[in-house]
Amino acid sequence: MFNIRKICVAMAIAMSAATVHAAPDGVSFKSLINKDVPESPGKELAMISVEYAPGGEDPVHRHDAHGIVYVLEGSIVMGVKGGKEVTLKPGDTFYEGPADLHTVGRNASKTKPAKFVVFLLKEKSKPILIPAQ
């Protein structure tokens, strides 16, 4: 079982640093850029890279943001509450909105790693990842 508080702390640290950090369940991430959106006060663009180890997966969470996933390597399974799970390969994309509950995020492979980037348009005061309650 994962510890929600540790996930939040790890994500907060990762978003403020330029190095890769480990998270529970075989997931690591790196903040690539955070940029204010002057035309929309209080909004920011964020971009992170995520790596899933073989069999790695995210806990159920929300982003409270518009998010676009772009797969670089390997194959991942993504899904939001009320939607179908989709398996994505390099070059594929996935969208989730601010109200979506991200119920599935995992490496499709038990033997090969997977890597993707996530582009987020979010409120500056909100964390990138909000664990499900």
**CATH number of 119's domain:** 2.60.120.10
| Residue 7 DSSP label | H
CB 123 within 8 A of CB 64: yes
CB 57 within 8 A of CB 27: yes
Number of domains in the chain: 1
Domain residues for the domain of 123 are 4-131
List the pLDDT tens digit at each of the 133 positions of the chain.
444 333 443 444 344 444 344 455 689 999 999 999 999 999 999 999 999 999 999 999 998 899 999 999 999 999 999 999 999 999 999 999 999 999 999 999 999 999 999 999 999 988 888 888 7
pTM of the model: 0.80
In Å, how far from its chain's centre is CA 75? 15
Q: For residue 133, what pLDDT is reported? A: 77
Q: For residue 23, what pLDDT is reported? A: 56
Q: What is the DSSP string of 19-75?
A: S-EEETTTEEEEEEEEEE-TTSTTEEEEEEEEEEPTT-BPPSEE-SEEEEEEEEES-
Could you tell me the two tokens for 60? Answer: 């159920």
